[in-house]
Amino acid sequence: MDAKPLLPYTDDRDTRAFFEAAREHRLVYRACKDCGRGLHPPTAHCPWCGGWNTDWHPAKGGGKLHAWTTVTHPIHPAYKVPYTLVLVELDESPDVRLVGRIDGAPALEAGMKMRVWFEAVADGVVLPQWQVV
Amino acid sequence: MTTGGDSAWAARDKCAVVGIGSTAFSRDSGRSVLTLASEAALGALQDAGLSVHDIDGIVGCDHDRVTPWTLAASLGATGLDWWAQTGPGGGAPCMMIALAVGALMSGQCKAVLAFRSLNGRSEARLGSGVPGMGGQTVGGFGSYDEFYLPQGLITAGQTFALMAQRHMIEYGTTAEQLGAVALACRAAANQTPHAQMYERTLSMEEYLGSRMISTPLRLFDFCLESDGACAVVLTRADRARDLPRHPVLVRAVAGGAPPDLRGGMMFPAVTRHDITDIGGRTAAERLWQRAGVGPRDMDLAQIYDCFTISVILQLEAFGFCKRGEGGPFAASGALLRDGELPINTAGGHLSEGYVHGMNGIVEAVRQLRGDGDMQIPGAELCLCTGGPLPVGSSVVFRRA
């Protein structure tokens, strides 16, 4: 029996728009329309300027690699080792960094250009993933 | 005024730890966490020369399965009229001391028990993932776990591995420098009969040869998963003078958040701008001001060592060395018994046992009483830290 992966709760009032967009293969991020700063994890209130004028914005899907770790010790049966967790900074905002997963143990360097793709992990559940450009 | 004017520190040296208690640390206690907590608490009360009826406040950790009132029920501490639970996780013990000071100074309590109890190996292995992972759907409601767990970022070790990787990228930190932290803690454990790693030495060759868990962190970069409990009793310092043990004063306490704090527990913390800068740095600024002393005045320290990299980051945050120099500082031998800053003198979480920060508090008190197994001669001032994600906490203890 193949183990089932952990699925995101996609109905949170602050974060569900991210997953709704991913389902349509769109990457969005929350940002403040007053000060322009990104907000991740997403919040309705902007901690940078103190305003409430925040909304979801489309991202083009490019980023750069900030850090990574190759997991070699298995923790969860659905996640076969080795796999590499990547921390990617969104081109549109240095305030927004997203975590993705690459199978295996690729050779990586800080600052590498990354590109989003969309992985269907269950019926109606899609995760933005990242690959080296 | 010698403090730089932080009026919050009217509490300097006004409260004291008067009793400490611990269970044995093991891989399987065979007993409930409530039984462990009760044993540690009764040990601390006996050490303090107090009875269960003297306790009017109990503070525990938000991750503890034992609540303050359940412990009170087990002890028969029916005088309980103040209780608290704090966190987050490993940040709890130092904040428990801060809460106890607040309760004592405001007159709400006369004797506060602070405790942590866990079967962290036999019942709830912390390394197996975050609490609440049992269900297939994860996250939501301000945890933000929905962004991380489904990707396979599941454990604290993987999270700190990202920070370690970034520290290596920015500062050239090496595996051997991380290893120096592991070896320092192990050397202390080898002098400490109750430490889980008392009889097991560790060489740099063995450290480097240990299996990789999540690059760049190896097996010996990880703390132990342990069963055990620790407890301490605090009173005001004037009362402490009438009790049997040499009092250890709470010189100062402080917590701190990093400049671009993120919510949730540990995963969002690695999405901050500068992920190797931690809340401990903010805590340290306040701590040293409140204490009226600085890092160079510390005779030793108990640095929260969930992982070796955690120690490097906190050495920098608390000002023992500059940003980026934690690796060379550790590799210089500074952390050893005869070094500039002996740390984790009973072995720490890496080699004594993992009681989620509380065993560091107990060891600090032991050292400042002059009762350490690996006693640091003339120890008068000891820093304890907690955290380090998402926020940091700290205490300076002083021998009365």
Residue-wise pLDDT for B281-307, tens only, equals 999 999 999 999 999 999 999 999 999
pLDDT score recorded for residue B138: 93
pLDDT score recorded for residue B127: 80
Q: Which residues pair with B217 in a beta bridge?
A: B214
The percentage of chain B sitting over the pLDDT mark of 90, rounded to a whole number, equals 94
In a domain, residue B58? The reply is: yes
Q: Tens of pLDDT along B14-60?
A: 999 999 999 999 999 999 999 999 999 999 999 999 999 999 999 99
Mean pLDDT, range B194-216, rounded to an integer: 98
pLDDT score recorded for residue B133: 56
Q: How far is A123 from chain B (nearest CA, A)?
A: 13
Q: Tens of pLDDT along B118-154?
A: 999 999 887 877 655 555 899 999 999 999 999 999 9
List CB contacts (< 8 A) between A94 and chain B. 273
* Number of other residues whose CB lies within 10 A of the CB of residue B14: 16
Instruction: List the structure tokens of B171.
Output: 């500062």
Distance CA A99, CA A68 (A): 9
List CB contacts (< 8 A) between B132 and chain A. none
Q: CA separation (Å) from A58 to A17, A55, A127?
A: 11, 10, 16
List Cβ neighbours of B229 (8 Å cut-off, separation of 6 or more): B22, B23, B33, B36, B37, B39, B40, B115, B116, B117, B118, B355, B358
Domain containing B51 equals: 7-119
- Write down the residue that tokens 């399987």 correspond to: B28
A95 and B CB contact within 8 Å: yes
In a domain, residue B202? The reply is: no
In a domain, residue B99? The reply is: yes
b/e for B375-384, b at 16 or more Cβ within 10 A?
Answer: bbeebbbbbb
In a domain, residue B109? The reply is: yes
Domain CATH number, residue B17: 3.40.47.10
pLDDT score recorded for residue A95: 96
Query: Does residue B203 contact residue B4 with C-beta atoms inside 8 Å?
Result: no
The residue of B126, B147, B265 whose CB has the most chain A CBs within 10 angstroms, and thus the best one to mutate to test that interface, is B147
Mean pLDDT, range B172-178, rounded to an integer: 98
pLDDT score recorded for residue B134: 55
Q: Tens of pLDDT along B314-354?
A: 999 999 999 999 999 999 999 999 999 999 999 999 999 99
Contact call for A6 and B273, based on CB within 8 A: no
In a domain, residue B137? The reply is: no
In a domain, residue B42? The reply is: yes
The residue of B160, B270, B271, B277 whose CB has the most chain A CBs within 10 angstroms, and thus the best one to mutate to test that interface, is B271
pTM to 2 decimals?
0.96
Distance CA A65, CA A110 (A): 5
Contact call for A76 and B213, based on CB within 8 A: no
List CB contacts (< 8 A) between B148 and chain A. 99
Q: What is the CA radius of gyration of chain A?
A: 16
- What is the tally of structural domains in chain B? 1
A1 pLDDT more than 50: no
Mean per-residue pLDDT over chain B, rounded: 95
Contact call for B147 and A75, based on CB within 8 A: no
In a domain, residue B330? The reply is: no
Contact call for A76 and B275, based on CB within 8 A: no
pLDDT score recorded for residue B2: 47
* Sheet with B57-61, edge to edge strand ranges: B82-86, B57-61, B112-119, B227-236, B15-22, B248-256, B392-399, B381-386, B300-302
Q: How many residues does chain A have?
A: 133
Single out the residue of B277, B263, B301 nearest to residue B386, CA to CA: B301
Chain A residue with the nearest C-alpha to that of B271 = A97
Q: How far is A23 from chain B (nearest CA, A)?
A: 14
Catalytic sites of B, residue numbers: 304, 354
pLDDT score recorded for residue B325: 98
The percentage of chain A sitting over the pLDDT mark of 70, rounded to a whole number, equals 98
C-alpha A107: how far from chain center:
21
In a domain, residue B57? The reply is: yes
Query: Does residue B387 contact residue B90 with C-beta atoms inside 8 Å?
Result: yes
Query: Does residue A68 contact residue B162 with C-beta atoms inside 8 Å?
Result: yes
Contact call for B215 and A70, based on CB within 8 A: yes
B229 pLDDT more than 70: yes
pLDDT score recorded for residue B378: 97
Q: Which residue among A6, A97, A105 sits closest to B271, beta carbon to beta carbon?
A: A97
